[in-house]
Chain A
Amino acid sequence: MKKHTLHISTSPHLKQSLSVEVIMRNVVFALLPTAIFSVYAFGWNAALVLITAVVSCVLTEHVLCRLTNKRSTLSDWSAVITGLLLGLTLPPIFPLWMTFLGGVFAIGMGKFLFGGLGYNVFNPALVGRAVLQAAFPVAITTWYAGFSVDRFAGLHPAVLGAPFMKPIVDGTSGATPLSAWKFDGVTTDTADLALGLVSGSAGETSSILILIGGLYLVFRNFMNWRIPVSILTTVFIFSGILYWIDPVEYPSPLFMLFSGGLMLGAVFMATDMVASPLTCWGVILYGVIIGALVVIIRIWGGLPEGVMYAILLANALSPHIDRLIRYRVYGTSLKAS
């Protein structure tokens, strides 16, 4: 018999052919309908914001890997997700230089500072957005009505605003449904909300497309469905109780479900595997916390929208949830862990 070169390895020798890269790439696919609809609704402005956010995240990741002499981690696609998510949380006419800065903070502060993929405590895209919200409170609440006739004719002047110049604000055209409710007491039709025919961040418009993307990920088993389900159920029940107590003072639960960033947050942000708990009940508790915080911030807080802070707070809690809620190990009693 001829001489053979034998490879040795430790068991198990079989491996499911599923990698981090495949999961991440599919999350990008699942986000595409939402991104495309956002371009359709808001025109070139939104396209530029999304592209800038992605480029900024990818570039930051690449440069930081270079600077720290690490192998480039671009191939795992996670920077692309962060970029897309960041872009989708921003107003469609957000100045590009600010968008770029947001990407740098999302990857640099939200991810790299903690040790890169797998070590981030918070969802990086939301860290980027939180920084932007703190730094540019006016620009981040300057909305743009969707489906305006000239949306593919040119760019909104604010988008190309030069860094650190006084931002060009030509009157907020089209308040978001949440701010309209909060500050003017006007509620929006639920069907319009679900279909995305309203004003808002680039990606927080069409709940249906977001749900389709989420369903795809759940179907491929790349997402823990318990997270969005427990968040949305909590929001629905909590705001439903309030609505039942006083339908004039409080918005309807359907309005709460379909308005603002809740869908995008519940489906694509809170489900960040790294920053969410591991166990079944842990994940449900995490979802309930987010859902309750969303309602509390929206109704009693100073801001019209609370999804971002709700998720960031729950992210911080998730290691503790994992310590608190564990599966009972086979052959042990619950107490003896």
Chain B
Amino acid sequence: MRARIPIPPAVIGLAMFLAIWEVLSLWVHRPILPSPVTVVPIFAAGIFGDLGQHFLASAGRVLAAMVLSVVTAVPIGLGLGQMQRIDRIFAPLIAIVYPIPKIVFLPVIYVLMGITDLSKIFLISLIIFFQILVVVRDEAANLPPELILSVRSLGAGRRALFRFVYLPASVPVVLTALRLSAGTAVAVLFIAEQSLTTYGLGYYIVVETYQVLRYPEMYAGILAMGLLGLLIYFAIQGLEARFTRYQKRNDA
């Protein structure tokens, strides 16, 4: 059982993080590792200006990728989970493609789709797509037959089963898959944004600050990207807690 992290541990965690950072920066004592005392004000000023725009660009891409992968992977996963004959045809392909780190397709996607935001969003959604596809398929395939038969006996056809059984059954696993792939999604975003764009935290961190030795600003960018990952993670965790209330106290 996963409890929502209450405020105090998060505050303690943040304080420890900043303390270790400060100690390290004192110890290294070089421009490459500025103190949080320098970085945090830059971050605070930038997040409502230039840095904030990069943040929004990155956040927009990740969220678009999440939406794109959910709306495509959930129906396909539910379909495969219910139609075993078709699933058997595609299962080997999915088993092969699923573990491939999708970042290797970056050049292919750029060449085929062009250098637009869409190609970056597509690359990220490719990662999340397979994570969701697999868990939704398995969830749909493993629903108890008595459940399906009972609801069918109430008059439910394919559409009602989808709406009242398969869809709600897949919400918790979709959220878990999203949360677990959030880290990878942000990581791939970071790489994808390093080229062929002028907005996004990846661009800001690597091109605008790192390559021109603006280290304090670079760290502000890293903070922003870390914050993006954290916010996504905790937002999904909050949703999960809401949608899995019925699972609590089950073992009691």
Chain A partners chain B = no
Using a CB–CB cutoff of 8 Å, the interface residues on chain A facing chain B are none
Using a CB–CB cutoff of 8 Å, the interface residues on chain B facing chain A are none
